Chains A and B, each alone.
Chain A
Amino acid sequence: MARIGVFVCWCGSNIASTVDVKAVADAAAKFPGVAHAVEYKYMCSDPGQAMIRQAIADKRLTGVVVAACSPRMHEPTFRRLALSAGLNPYFVEMANIREHCSWVHDDRPLATTKAIETVKMLVEKVRRASPLEPIRVPVTRKAMVVGGGIAGIQAALDIANAGVDVILVERSPSIGGHMAQLDETFPTLDCSQCILTPKMVDLAQHPRARIYTYAEVEEVKGFVGNFRVTVRQKAKTIDHAKCTACGVCIEKCPASVPSEFDCGLATRKAVYVPFPQAVPAKPVIDRGACLWFTKGRCKVCEKFCPAGAVSFADKDSLVEETVGAIVVATGFDLIDRGLYGEYGYGKLADCIDGLQFERMLSASGPTGGKLVKPTSGETPKTVVFVQCVGSRDDSKGLPYCSRVCCMYAAKHAMLFKHKVKDGRAYIFYIDIRAAGKGYEEFVKRAVDEDRVVYLRGRVSRMFEKDGCVIVKGADTLSGQQVEIKADLVVLATAITGSEGVRDLAGKLRIGFDQYGFLSEAHPKLRPVETNTPGVFLAGACQAPKDIPDTVSQAGAAASKVLGLLSSPELVREPLVASVDEAICIGCFACENTCPYGAVEHGLRKDAETGLEVEVAKVNPGICEGCGACVPVCRPKAMDLKGYSEEQIYSEINALSGRLNVKG
């Protein structure tokens, strides 16, 4: 026999001035199952709470309805109170008679009627409530970071330094990412390698860190606290345990292909280390380029290797790792400048993109830091930098700003002037976005000290003529057309999400936009979380970002991971779906509806036949409690705790019949 207590709050005059709180309490007292109904000035105040606690004890209440403000405001308060008074918190419901009633209506009788009916609905709901215990999920105190650029390295270091084991998975043969390709970085012009490589080494040597290079995420099972990730370790074909990194194989290898790291400005061998400071510093064999794997002859490397580390028999291997949380740090790609017919479809040899220019600037780059005109090898005297190539260009399908180009174009022009004193640098821009710390000053320096000429306008066309690139642009500030005979053109091509990120997002069940950027859970308040609990974002995989922002976000993601892994188990609200296996027919309509993959296949022994039948099982660790699976369940075997079929029907039924209001 239910004994419900109803507590009507005045909220000072907030409710009482519009709702006849006494009438509500009196009416509630007459509802079936209600054993106690009172009203009071401030239910959330200490005396208010004491009053409820007292009533629960004295009246031996089996349920509580607090008619006050929005449950989004005080539901936790009153559920905690119930717990402390020895009543299961899920026997407490709130009737929202403030936000949904007294604050939005003027007519006292009508508002009062609404309040009474609202209380009635929730009394009915509480009468059909069942006790629920919070879900406790054991947590694997280990994290995985996907992507070994500065974002991934920083996140992994922060996690490892906090004493938590971390596994970093990198697709290429070395960690370092795009930052390793950069020369000097804005706005301080400190050398990218000099600040990055120590971090790379720290991570490689960290006792709590484990790095898989030349590896990719194959499959993700499980859920927050316990993801089971299968990592594909691509065959390196070089046994790193034996390899001494002497480099003879590389020296002897006859097969050359364009170097990814040098953006095609130089070649690398089929057996290669992407760049001198690579971590690990030991080579892998690119089977797509290796003569043995493509043509079935050669094996020169094997012949010369003093350590006998070359093993052509090596195969891809699959490794399963269980981790409690995952940080995605897959970075970015530049768009293909072939998109621009008016800029020669990327076929103009003296027209390169920003990353290629970085490689040219870099002392460890293909030109040893010497700026050259690709077609002639001479030093370029006139260089044109073009911003917003792809960015902010709806006709090319990329409406957004890539955020870093304004700064690196200024940097490029500056570094060019430092290397070529008598050179002329022009930058075509639409707007200069230099909002970071020290950024505006940096751009000013390019103009004031290094005499970089900024032209406000886009370039309409460029073509090769007499060994130069003719750039047809405009300066909208002076209202003139501009034609520049350039030795070299550097395009600030737009940034998009990195290739293959969509597959990964699918495996992790996280969202992404049409440009390949991964979706955060909330653009302001949950910028590093995703909609999959336990999966976090760091760096440019979420949106174009510069190094300072990337590093901060990586730190943020790490701290979220550490917070999550700080306790041995996760405690989650028990408002999840559950299956009555006795009536489940195993159609798995629920499985198809569930956006979280929380429905698993289980077996039930059929009482009569004794046969094993397949039934749906909800994994409470994954279920987010949306309830989408309930309406699709044909035999009504599925139900949602806290919002059960019975509870909702009883709320609806509570409304049958009318109150007749004398006005």
Chain B
Amino acid sequence: MTHAGSGHEELGVTNFLEEVESQTGEKVRICYQCGKCSAGCPVGYVMDLLPNQVIRLIQLGLRQEVLDSSTIWLCASCETCATRCPREIEIVRVMDYLRQQARLGGHTHAAREVPIFIHSFLANLKRFGRLYEPMLVGMYNLASGHLTKDMDKAPAMIIKRKLALLPSRAKGLHRMRQILKNIEEMRHR
């Protein structure tokens, strides 16, 4: 059986479904497409694929289509879908795995801001061990090109002493760096 869209693609015979299931421990195959996840998704209106469609594409083994979708990035991890799923599939766990695969495979054009944000966030943690918002805003804006985003809030926040002008490094910073380093090494091995 071939996929009319991209003729060469073999429907349902790739091992993508098995991959997702083994990596997430979620039984994606048991989804019977009732659409309750999509019905309740607060972000669904901006997604290119609804959650149930993402699940369906996984069932059919269409890796490319799934990883290229904006949905995996727009998912806000609010857990509404998973909480109401009649088949009790933890969809966020699946989305997480898809996002990780998409970043590894460089499928990040669909909603590029999110991977950039994730990257800035983690960089920020490596730097301070904790979140230092001004620096996060700065890093993210530079990387994403929205130069003044959220800057409008900074003055007020500083007046209200919500933002420290200088970052304070977490006492656990070195541990944070160590942990992230260990994980990177584990990944290379």
Chain A interfacial positions (CB closer than 8 Å to B): 342, 388, 392-396, 430, 456-461, 472-476, 479-482
Contacts and interface: CB of A to CB of B under 8 A. Distances in A.
Nearest to A483: B39
A452 to B, nearest CB: 19
A388 B34 contact: yes
A482 B86 contact: no
B86 A392 contact: yes
B111 interface: no
A388 B33 CA distance: 13
B50 A458 contact: no
Interface string B34-52: 1111111100110001101
A458 B40 CA distance: 9
Contacts of B84: 342, 395, 460-461
Given A458-B39, A476-B50, A395 B88 contact: yes
Contacts of B32: 392, 430
Q: Which of A388, A393, A476, A480: most chain B CB closer than 10 A?
A: A476
B38 A474 contact: yes
A139 to B, nearest CB: 49
B135 interface: no
B76 to A, nearest CB: 15
23 contacts: A392-B86, A430-B32, A430-B33, A430-B34, A430-B35, A457-B34, A457-B52, A458-B35, A460-B37, A460-B41, A461-B84, A472-B39, A473-B39, A474-B38, A474-B50, A476-B34, A476-B50, A476-B53, A479-B38, A481-B39, A481-B41, A481-B44, A481-B50
Given A481-B41, A481-B45, A474 B52 contact: yes
B7 to A, nearest CB: 22
Contact of B87 (A388, A395, A457): A395
B93 to A, nearest CB: 16
Interface residues of B, number: 22
A479 B39 contact: no
Contact of A458 (B34, B44, B49, B80): B34
Interface string B18-40: 00000000000000111111111
Contact of A479 (B41, B50, B80): B50
A54 to B, nearest CB: 65
Given A479-B50, A479-B53, A396 B86 contact: yes
A430 B31 CA distance: 12
B88 A456 contact: no
Given A393-B86, A481-B45, A342 B40 contact: yes
Q: Which of A393, A460, A479: most chain B CB closer than 10 A?
A: A460
B60 interface: no
A248 B35 CA distance: 55
B87 A481 contact: no
Q: Which of B33, B49, B88: most chain A CB closer than 10 A?
A: B33
Top 7 A-B pairs, shortest CB-CB distance: A460-B40, A457-B35, A460-B39, A474-B39, A458-B36, A476-B35, A474-B35
A395 B34 contact: no
Contact of B80 (A430, A460, A473): A460
Contacts of A461: 39-40, 84
Interface in B85-109: 85-88
Contacts of A479: 38, 49-50, 53
Q: Which of A457, A459, A472, A480: most chain B CB closer than 10 A?
A: A457
A457 B39 contact: yes
Contacts of A480: 50
Contacts of B39: 457-461, 472-474, 481-482
B37 to A, nearest CB: 8
Contacts of B41: 460, 481
Contacts of A457: 34-36, 38-39, 52
Interface string B163-180: 000000000000000000
Contact of A481 (B34, B38, B86): B38
Contact of B36 (A394, A474, A475): A474
B65 to A, nearest CB: 13
Contacts of A342: 40, 84
Q: Which of B35, B38, B49: most chain A CB closer than 10 A?
A: B35
A393 B40 CA distance: 16
B98 to A, nearest CB: 18
Q: Which of B34, B50, B53: most chain A CB closer than 10 A?
A: B34
A612 B85 CA distance: 66
Contacts of A482: 39
B36 A459 contact: yes
Nearest to A456: B35
A73 B171 CA distance: 83
A183 to B, nearest CB: 29
A89 B121 CA distance: 88
A604 to B, nearest CB: 60
Q: Which of B39, B49, B88: most chain A CB closer than 10 A?
A: B39
A274 B169 CA distance: 76
B86 A394 contact: yes
A394 B50 contact: no
Contacts of A430: 32-35
A342 B84 CA distance: 8
A461 B38 CA distance: 11
Contacts of A459: 36, 39
Contacts of B80: 460
Contacts of B87: 394-395
Contacts of B53: 476, 479
B81 to A, nearest CB: 8
A476 B85 contact: no
A474 B49 CA distance: 13
